[in-house]
Each structure stands twice: as structure tokens, then as C-alpha cells.
Amino acid sequence: MKKKFVAIITMILLIASMSGIASAAEAPQDMEKAIQDAKQEEHSNYKKGSLTLSDFQEISVNDPELETGTVQMALAEYSVIRDKIFPIVHKEVVYYDSENGKVLQEAQLAGVDEAVKYKESHKGETGIKLQMGLIIALLIVVPLVYFLIIVLVWEPRQYLTTKFKIANKLYYGQQQTYQ
């Protein structure tokens, strides 16, 4: 009975600890679509479907230049593939005007304290990162292929004069002509 009680309590605590993850606020679909379109326009080699938005927040803004009352912010992560072999992951804070359906630039929100604090809270997470796995694989594979070509293709086709001289008794200073 005691074991069942401990197992039930453990399951309840496990489920309760995951409920915060399951109920996290998600970015609206129109925000995601607008940001995806903006990134596709900004980067010609943008990987479609790679955009993920996390840590969504909505703030009210009292700036007359913005022509909006609310701004939605999120941490965006998306991939760009250069030359079809170099994947680059971008992480940045994105801003969206939900009333007008436009993506806002960071400079437009420079005077909003809440937006500046949000960006500073994600300062260590943002940036560009080159995925090194493929580059390291290329650094290993290219010399390996070169070595295998030398060993398996070029080396067996070499003409060895030593074998010829020994087989025809020319190696030890014996003179002989062939007819």
C-alpha cells in the first residue's frame, strides 16, 4: 500500500512539474507567418519551416510614432543554408505589431523600456552560429578520400623497376639484352 501511495505521489509531482511547459504562451499564427515572410525576404537562402518562436510576451506601448497600442515580442530561431552545405542558425528577438499586422524593427522600439529589458534578458542567447558538424565531416572525408585514391588506385598501377630487374636478373649488375 505504501509503495502504491509513493508511486501515485511521484506521478502527480511529475505531471505537475511538466504543466508549466505545456501551458507556456505560444505566439499567434499571424505573427509567425508575418515573421517568416519577413525573414524569407531578408535572407534569400532562408530554410522554409525552420522558424520557431519561444518566450512570447505582449506589452502595451504608449508611443505615438508607432501607431499601435500593443507589441508582441518573441525569441526567434531560424536556419539559413549557405551554398547548400553550411547551415547557419540565427537567434534574435523579433517584434510584431498585432493591430496592423507588421513586423517592427528594433530601432522603432528603442524608446520602450519593456522592449529594451526583454532584449537584454535574452542577450546571451541571441546571435548567429555556424553548424560545424558538416565542416568537420568534410575536413575528415576529403583527406580520407585522397588517401584512398592514392592507396587503392594510383599505387597498384605504379611501374616498379625493382621487381622487373629482379625477375630479369638485371638487379645485381648482370648485363643482359632482351630480344
| Pair type for strands 127-130 and 86-97 | antiparallel
Residue 127: exposed, middle, or buried by beta-carbon count in 10 A (0-12, 13-18, 19+)?
Answer: exposed
pTM comes to 0.65
Residue-range definition of the domain harbouring residue 94: 25-131
What's the number of domains the chain is made of?
1
Whose cell is 510584431? That residue is 96
- Alpha helices by DSSP H, listed for 75-150, are 113-121, 133-149
Establish if 158 belongs to a structural domain: no
Gap between the Cα atoms of 119 and 94, Å rounded: 9
The CA distances from residue 32 to 35, 54, 149, in Å, are 5, 11, 49
Per-residue pLDDT of the chain (179 residues; tens, 9 = 90+): 788 877 788 888 777 776 555 444 676 888 889 999 999 999 999 999 899 999 889 988 887 777 888 899 999 999 999 888 888 999 999 999 888 888 988 888 888 889 899 999 999 889 999 888 878 888 899 999 999 998 888 877 777 677 777 777 776 666 665 54
Q: Which amino acid is at 25?
A: A
Establish if 105 belongs to a structural domain: yes
